[in-house]
Amino acid sequence: MTKTKEKQLHLGVLLYGCGHHQAAWLMPNSSVEHIGEISYYQSLAQVAEKGYFDAVFFADNQSFPAKNASDMPAFWFDPVVNLTAISQVTNHVGLVATISSTFSNPFTASRQLLSLDHITKGRVGWNLVTSMTDFEALNHSMEELPPRDKRYEKADEFAALMNKLFLSWHSNAFLHQREERKLINPSNIQPFHHDGTYFKVHGPSTTPKSPQGKPVSMQAGASKQGIALAAKYADAVYSVSWNLKQAKNFRKKLDEQVKQSEDSSRHIKVFPGLVTYVGHTREEALAKKAALDEQLPIETALKQLSFFIQQDCSNWEIDQEVPPLPPVEEFTGPVGRYETILEIIHDTQPTVRELLGYLSAGGGHHTLIGTPEEIVDQMEVWFEAGVADGFNLMPPTLPGSLEDFVELIVPEMQKRGIFRKSYEGHTFREHLGLTK
Ligand SMILES: Cc1cc2nc3c(=O)[nH]c(=O)nc-3n(C[C@H](O)[C@H](O)[C@H](O)COP(=O)(O)O)c2cc1C
């Protein structure tokens, strides 16, 4: 009987439309007809819970440009509303919603998260983002997205304020003593008078502290400002690392920032994105990827690449080598993805078509193809190297790739004693082993 190792891996899954591969919806058995049905997302979360995942996670983009016939309405449901419905058909799996500090009202956002955290007795997390596109800004009385410095300055105040609202009063101040005619103990429910640059909030919240203290705070920045914010507020971060070298670099940058933060002893958990194609044989796994890549809508893929590298590459020769790109120091767009693309080019000297294939699912996250043993071998390398406390699974197809992961990879991880065989605690914090 394999001994359960002290350190356990954690698993999250980013639920997105029909899957993260751009051609996923084109497959004959895809779920495209169901992406507007809550039962679809409820059943995906039940698959993740069957695999003892720590959490299901919804990203968010608050716009739908809908310019091209192939544009996916991936954000059909608001993340918090979607997770509330999911919470009613699951019992353990954590529920992570993306919240934009650039567009959200902190009083409303904290109240929605706290409410769901009480409803689920402590299963909630939130992914703080500063948002990425001008399209979203146009939906929020802005002409364009504020510059990154301003977005992260506002995000810092937003995160501090969310914590004040999460912790503004404890439910033991709710007395409901009929004889004494006391409903509450007002002295324990005080306003905090937040008077900042971006927000003025009197407080307290309408909702007391949550059963797990406060929702788990996730973050996904990659720039200096993004990592500094994570070092100050995040319990865990999502990252984009194509290879071990990039993952080590990210872990190092994050740890250096934590050392400079108030609580320099904190260990922030890192969840690199992970794309898996698994089969009973390597050939079977490669065939699953090839079947999707063959359907890749080149025009859409080139458009996404143009966004990632902030230059129009729609007329690039598809079977020629990728033209030289400027170094990251000269790049003004979202840093994480760009660094990853430069790593892929450095590692594989790909043709444009091959690069699009690597970016086709998730846009450059670590990609593993093979048998369960081969894939878990690589997951253990990152785990043992201390660059991954868990992985943020980005299934190329949904539900297919998630079901494959739960059926083939989770048992291999359990066999090696690096993943739970049952949920011990109830709260998301307990799943992650977060003591405070
Ligand atoms: C796994 C993952 C999920 C993300 N989810 C979102 C999202 O839902 N909405 C969003 O606007 N940005 C999202 N981002 C983008 C980040 O918040 C961030 O803007 C990006 O990583 C670039 O980092 P920077 O902001 O520090 O430049 C995500 C990034 C990663 C790696």
Q: Same structural domain for residues 87 and 202?
A: yes
Q: Same structural domain for residues 248 and 343?
A: no
Q: Same structural domain for residues 355 and 212?
A: no
Residue 69 is assigned to a structural domain of this protein: yes
**How far apart are the CA of 221 and the centre of ligand 1, in A?**
6
Q: How large is the average pLDDT for residues 407-431?
A: 96
Instruction: Give the tens place of pLDDT for each residue, 135-185.
Output: 999 999 999 999 999 999 999 999 999 999 999 998 899 999 999 999 999
Q: Same structural domain for residues 400 and 268?
A: yes
**Domain stops at, among 359, 376, 397:** 359
> Which pLDDT value is given to residue 255?
96
pLDDT at 2 over 70: no
Q: Same structural domain for residues 150 and 252?
A: yes
pLDDT band at 251 (very low <50, low <70, confident <90, very high): very high
If one counts the domains in the chain, the total is 2
**How far apart are the CA of 336 and the centre of ligand 1, in A?**
8
Token output for 126:
């939130």
Residue 179 is assigned to a structural domain of this protein: no
> Which pLDDT value is given to residue 171?
82
**Domain stops at, among 316, 338, 359:** 359
Identify the CA nearest to 285 among candidates 391, 412, 374: 374
Percent of the residues in the chain that have a pLDDT greater than 70, as a whole number: 98
Q: Same structural domain for residues 347 and 391?
A: no
Question: Annotation-wise, does 60 bind a ligand?
Answer: yes
Question: Annotation-wise, does 239 bind a ligand?
Answer: no
Q: Same structural domain for residues 157 and 213?
A: yes
Ligand 1 within 6 A of CB of 227: no
Q: Same structural domain for residues 41 and 82?
A: yes
Question: Annotation-wise, does 223 bind a ligand?
Answer: yes
HEC readout, the chain: CCCCCCCCCEEEEECCCCCCECCHHHCCCCCHHHCCCHHHHHHHHHHHHHCCCCEEEECCCCCCCCCCCCCCCCCCCCHHHHHHHHHCCCCCCEEEEEEECCCCCHHHHHHHHHHHHHHCCCCEEEEEECCCCHHHHHCCCCCCCCCHHHHHHHHHHHHHHHHHHHCCCCHHHEEEECCCCEEECHHHCCCCCEECCCCEECCCCCCCCECCECCEEEECCCCHHHHHHHHHHCCEEEECCCCHHHHHHHHHHHHHHHHHCCCCCCCCEEEEEEEEEECCCHHHHHHHHHHHHHCCCHHHHHHHHHHHHCCCCCCCCCCCECCCCCCHHHCCCCHHHHHHHHHHHHHHCCEHHHHHHHHCECCCCEEEEECHHHHHHHHHHHHHCCCCCEEEECCCCCCHHHHHHHHHHHHHHHHCCCCCCCCCCCCHHHHHCCCC
Ligand 1 within 6 A of CB of 221: yes
Question: What is the C-alpha separation between 190 and 353, in angstroms, rounded?
Answer: 60
The CA angle 146-149-155, to the nearest 5 degrees, is 80
> Which pLDDT value is given to residue 222?
85
Task: Find residue 219's DSSP bridge partners.
Answer: 128, 237
Q: Whose CA is nearest to atom 29 of ligand 1?
A: 220
Percent of the residues in the chain that have a pLDDT greater than 90, as a whole number: 80
Q: Same structural domain for residues 355 and 421?
A: no
Ligand 1 within 6 A of CB of 129: yes
Q: How large is the C-alpha radius of gyration of the chain?
A: 22
Residue 16 is assigned to a structural domain of this protein: yes
- Hey, which of 56, 57, 130, 132 would you mutate to test ligand 1's pocket, going by the most ligand atoms within 8 Å of its Cβ? 132
- Residue 174 and residue 183 in contact, taking contact as beta carbons nearer than 8 Å: yes
Q: How large is the average pLDDT for residues 239-266?
A: 92
Residue 387 is part of a domain; what is its CATH number?
3.20.20.30
- Residue 281 and residue 256 in contact, taking contact as beta carbons nearer than 8 Å: no
**How far apart are the CA of 132 and the centre of ligand 1, in A?**
7
Q: How large is the average pLDDT for residues 13-17?
A: 97
Residue 171 is assigned to a structural domain of this protein: no
Q: How large is the average pLDDT for residues 373-395?
A: 98
> Which pLDDT value is given to residue 262?
81
Token output for 153:
């300055």
Nearest-atom index, ligand 1, CA of 219:
17
pLDDT at 3 over 80: no
CB atoms within 10 A of CB 186: 10
Residue 15 is assigned to a structural domain of this protein: yes
Q: Same structural domain for residues 349 and 373?
A: no
Domain of 337?
A: 297-359
Q: Same structural domain for residues 256 and 225?
A: yes
Question: Annotation-wise, does 306 bind a ligand?
Answer: no
Residue 291 is assigned to a structural domain of this protein: no
- Hey, which of 129, 152, 269, 332 would you mutate to test ligand 1's pocket, going by the most ligand atoms within 8 Å of its Cβ? 129
pLDDT at 436 over 80: no
Place of tokens 């995942």: 53
Measured CA distances, 244 to 12, 268, 329, 413 (Å): 19, 18, 21, 20
Residue 177 is assigned to a structural domain of this protein: no
Question: What is the C-alpha separation between 36 and 26, in angstroms, rounded?
Answer: 17
pLDDT at 4 over 90: no
pTM assigned to the model: 0.94
pLDDT at 6 over 80: no
Instruction: Give the tens place of pLDDT for each residue, 201-223.
Output: 999 999 999 999 999 999 998 88
**Domain stops at, among 359, 388, 406:** 359
Ligand 1 within 6 A of CB of 241: no
Residue 289 is assigned to a structural domain of this protein: no
> Which pLDDT value is given to residue 79?
98
Q: Same structural domain for residues 79 and 159?
A: yes
**How far apart are the CA of 127 and the centre of ligand 1, in A?**
9
Mean pLDDT of the chain, nearest integer: 94
Instruction: Give the tens place of pLDDT for each residue, 38-84.
Output: 999 999 999 999 999 999 999 999 999 888 888 888 889 999 999 99
pLDDT at 16 over 60: yes
Q: Whose CA is nearest to atom 18 of ligand 1?
A: 221
Instruction: Give the tens place of pLDDT for each residue, 313-340.
Output: 988 999 999 999 988 888 877 677 888 8
pLDDT at 353 over 70: yes
